[in-house]
Structure 1
Amino acid sequence: MSWLWAIIVGLVLGLIARAVIPGKQHIPLWLTTLCGILGSILGNAVASWIGVANTKGIDWTRHVLQLIGAILVVFVADMIWNAVRGGKGKSARQRA
């Protein structure tokens, strides 16, 4: 069941990250979900490192760090995806 929650949270975080980043990202939905999962793991690691992983009530700081991690991972993944794919997601007008 924890894998299902990781996928759901990763999807939500990835979609929010794509909405926050300006411009259009050309990565597929599966990669967005994977980036959200990796961002969540990164955010949890930072939260543990600074000592805010477990607090009373809702862990807002941890959730914000997870979102920041997802934004960073989606941004980097989009750059790598475009470099590897050669900008195939762009229209002819954008390439010219």
Structure 2
Amino acid sequence: MGTLFAILGWIVFGLIVGFIARALVPGKDNIGLLATIGLGILGSVVGGLVLSLFTGRITLSNPVGWIGSVVFAIVLLVIYNKVTGRKQVRR
């Protein structure tokens, strides 16, 4: 049962981080709910790995972990939009 809750926790965390990243990047993002979750989870993993190089440990329970997750999710979203050309200007 613990594994199920861990997976659900990562999904919820990824959704929150993905929505925050999408809200902070200007313009309309044409990605769905699953892509938003994936963006948040991937941003968290990449952010955690990069921050662990500087701090020596991986943690999401403090503000630095959350900020790193959101920052790297934003970076990944901007890269995704540049590569796919899917970014549209809001009107």
| TM-score bin (small chain) | 0.7 to 0.9
Using structure 1 for the length normalisation, give the TM-score: 0.73
Identical-pair percentage: 31
After TM superposition, the runs of 4+ consecutive aligned structure 1 residues lying more than 4 A away are none
Alpha-carbon distance in 1 for matches of 2:57, 2:62:
7
Larger Rg: 1
Q: Is contact 2:49–2:58 with CA below 8 Å preserved after alignment? A: no
Q: Which runs of 5+ in 2 are unaligned?
A: none
Residues 10, 54 of structure 1: alpha-carbon distance in 2 compared, 3 angstrom cutoff: closer
Using structure 2 for the length normalisation, give the TM-score: 0.77
The alignment covers a number of residue pairs equal to: 84
Q: Which runs of 5+ in 1 are unaligned?
A: none
Alpha-carbon distance in 1 for matches of 2:56, 2:66:
10
Alpha-carbon distance in 1 for matches of 2:33, 2:76:
14
Residue 45 of structure 1 aligns to a residue whose secondary structure is helix
Instruction: Give the equivalent residue in structure 2 for 1:69.
Output: 72
